[in-house]
Amino acid sequence: MSPIVATRRLGLAAAGGCGVAGLLLVAAPNVLPDLVFPTYMVGAASFDVVGRLSSGDTVVALALLWGGAMALVSLAAAIAPAVRGFGAIFGWACLAMVAALLGLAAPPLSMLTPVVWAVAVMASYASLRASGAPSQSEALPRGLSLGLLASGLLLGGLLGARAALAQGQLPAPGVALALLLAVLAITGAAPLGMARDEAVAAPAPLGALIYGLVMPVLGLGYLLRLVAILPQMPTSWAVALVFVGSIGTLASVAGAYGERHLRVLLGWVSGAQASLIVVAAGLSGALAALAGPALLINLMLSTIAGAAAAVDLERNTGSDAFAEAELGPRLDLSGLLWALAGLAAVGLPPLWGFWGRRWLFEAVLTQMPWALPPLIAGSGLLVLVLLMPLARFWPAPDPRSRPAAPGFLDPLAGALSLVPLLIIGVAPQLAWSLWMQGGAVALAALPVGLGEQAAAIGVGLVVLALVLGIARLPVARQIALSPEEQPVQLAADALGRSLRPLAWLGRADALLAAIWSGLLRLSHWLQVIMSVFEQRYYLLGVLIALLTVMLLMAQ
């Protein structure tokens, strides 16, 4: 249908299909209460899928479908109404979301999970190729290569861990390391942030759908479910997870300071939130069990909202660059949407991210207080990172520029993606009654008092009032700068340069390149050494080996 039907209509139809799938997912337990799928066995390996998701996984699946629908609406709104021939973008994106749903339905030890990961990675890359985003290069795309590597690592890890976990024992440390690397690689979390390179170059909604929805559900959702079935996590494993997550959060925020484009910045912010979930996976107790899924849902929906704001900025300014203060159209709604998405990402009330961060910080303070300083520093720096683009959304007006032409569908989709975060952020009791109470959390009541809830709502109202007040402040018109003058740099250049060594921890490509160069140099010298024996002393070596074998046999 792609050559016949307009691409925008296909995108809206795909978004509607996601909404229908969400309704069916809610109604499935009542319509098909005894749904069971047959288990396919290959030797001792089982390829099984549960017939009914748990309450927590159901909410994550609904967030995936809701956020996916809003991302598809934003992407469709960015395409001209008369354009045809690009429907494959939405087809591959829907296939990636279906693979993510299958990943939620597969038990942690099911061998179907590596297959689902590979399908999601290839479908995501196909959607990027259909959009024309990746540049032509002879090198293998990093997102595709790391995603397929993650699938292979997961396959090997499951083959090594199934027997031990089935007997109630822990797998070998090497197997656990392979599983952790698989999760980090497919998610694009630090230190493997280069897995997002192709996705952040795509249109903002499509990239956010990949690195903000599909991959976090596959990787981080799997990590949370895998940790839940472990008999007892050793202290060294927990410390490793918390260390990787806390340093990854700080490194991702440091990497964001060096960026000048909104799409790449949004990828770093998503990576910082993903590292927080890795920290939650390394902690034990009820608060950590609450924080992990809460932060995952917050990551998914806030990323989609930020991408919708980036679409409107790029439509009106022609670029998503925000580093220079330029006169231009004032995008009030998109700037407000970016500010609200930033509040959700930072974890400020009255949005749902506040409760997830609060539970995480309380668990960290109780169990591993040494990790709290980098987490707090990362949160503080993240606030400054998300404030910088607001000057591009709300610049000084330019009477010579054309008036702003804000879109309708993309800001609406971004706002709708934040509505669930606002509702359960104001009334967390809804989340407790809908899915938290029925989960594996050993709590008799929600750890939120009425006084704390009222204080959070009050602080949230103050924060919203400040955001609205800043948005309505008039900006004095500036006189046009002389061509000899340099434009004002809004990004924190000095801070970005000072944090650059820390940002390298978020992307290990430089380290991997150095290791690869060392291996090539080592292989060259081994080749030189072996060439001596191959050319001149080959027969002597064979003779010595033969004499050695004869002496051993004689003894």
Per-residue model confidence as pLDDT tens digits over 441-484: 667 788 888 899 999 999 999 998 988 888 777 665 554 555 55
94 CB-contact burial (10 Å; exposed 0-12 / middle 13-18 / buried 19+): buried
Which alpha helices (H) appear in 347-449, and where do they start and end? 353-367, 372-387, 390-393, 409-426, 428-431
Whether residues 201 and 61 fall in one domain: yes
Determine the Cα–Cα distance for residues 344 and 302; give it in Å rounded to an integer: 6
Whether residues 184 and 102 fall in one domain: yes
Whether residues 3 and 122 fall in one domain: yes
Q: Is residue 303 part of a domain?
A: no
Q: In terms of residue numbers, what domain contains 531?
A: 519-554
- Residues 49-66: b if buried by 16+ CB within 10 A, e if exposed: beeebeebbbbbbbbbbb
Whether residues 197 and 250 fall in one domain: no
Query: CB neighbours of 239 closer than 8 A, spacing ≥ 6?
Result: 282, 368
One-letter amino acid of 439:
G
Whether residues 384 and 334 fall in one domain: yes
Q: Is residue 266 part of a domain?
A: yes
Which H or E element spans position 334? helix 332-346
pLDDT at 140: 76
pLDDT at 509: 82
Q: Is residue 305 part of a domain?
A: no
Tell me: the pLDDT tens digits for 113-144?
999 999 999 999 999 999 887 665 656 788 99
- 3-state SS, residue 518: helix
* Token pair belonging to 36: 């069971």
Query: CB neighbours of 93 closer than 8 A, spacing ≥ 6?
Result: 14, 68, 71, 72, 75, 123, 124, 127, 206, 209
- 3-state SS, residue 134: coil
Q: Per-residue pLDDT averaged across 409-427, rounded?
A: 93
Query: What's the total number of domains in the chain?
Result: 3
Determine the Cα–Cα distance for residues 399 and 397; give it in Å rounded to an integer: 6
* Token pair belonging to 331: 């995008």
For the cut 80, the answer to whether the pLDDT of residue 90 exceeds it is: yes
For the cut 50, the answer to whether the pLDDT of residue 52 exceeds it is: yes
What whole-number percentage of the chain has pLDDT above 90?
51
Whether residues 198 and 65 fall in one domain: yes
pLDDT at 219: 96
Q: What does DSSP say about strands 45-47 and 40-42: parallel, antiparallel, or unpaired?
A: antiparallel
pTM for this model (two decimals):
0.90
Question: Lowest-pLDDT range, 141-145, 194-198, 301-305, 535-539?
Answer: 535-539
For the cut 90, the answer to whether the pLDDT of residue 245 exceeds it is: yes
219 CB-contact burial (10 Å; exposed 0-12 / middle 13-18 / buried 19+): buried
Q: Per-residue pLDDT averaged across 98-112, rounded?
A: 92
Q: Is residue 64 part of a domain?
A: yes
Q: Per-residue pLDDT averaged across 399-428, rounded?
A: 84
Whether residues 540 and 485 fall in one domain: no
Whether residues 364 and 478 fall in one domain: yes
Determine the Cα–Cα distance for residues 506 and 295; give it in Å rounded to an integer: 20
Which of the four pLDDT bands, split at 50, 70 and 90, describes residue 488?
Answer: low
Whether residues 141 and 192 fall in one domain: yes
For the cut 50, the answer to whether the pLDDT of residue 490 exceeds it is: no
| Final residue belonging to a domain, choices 197, 232, 267 | 232
Which of the four pLDDT bands, split at 50, 70 and 90, describes residue 172?
Answer: confident
Long-range Cβ contact pairs of 517-525 (< 8 A, separation 24 or more)? none
For the cut 90, the answer to whether the pLDDT of residue 184 exceeds it is: yes
Question: Lowest-pLDDT range, 75-79, 324-328, 373-377, 383-387?
Answer: 324-328
pLDDT at 139: 67
Q: Is residue 488 part of a domain?
A: yes
| Final residue belonging to a domain, choices 195, 217, 232 | 232
Determine the Cα–Cα distance for residues 447 and 428; give it in Å rounded to an integer: 10
Which of the four pLDDT bands, split at 50, 70 and 90, describes residue 438?
Answer: low
For 327, phi then psi, to 5°, come to: -70, 140
Whether residues 160 and 249 fall in one domain: no
Please count the CA atoms within 13 angstroms of the CA of 375 that sit on its side-chain side. 27
Whether residues 134 and 263 fall in one domain: no
pLDDT at 543: 78
Neighbours of 405 (CB within 10 A): 10
Computed from CA positions of residues 497, 502, 506, 508, in that sequence, does the dihedral angle turn out positive or negative? positive
Residue-averaged pLDDT of the chain:
86
Q: Is residue 293 part of a domain?
A: no
Q: Is residue 299 part of a domain?
A: no
Whether residues 17 and 32 fall in one domain: yes
Q: Is residue 159 part of a domain?
A: yes
- Which stretch, 25-29, 109-113, 472-476, has highest mean pLDDT? 109-113
Q: Higher pLDDT residue, 390 or 555?
A: 390
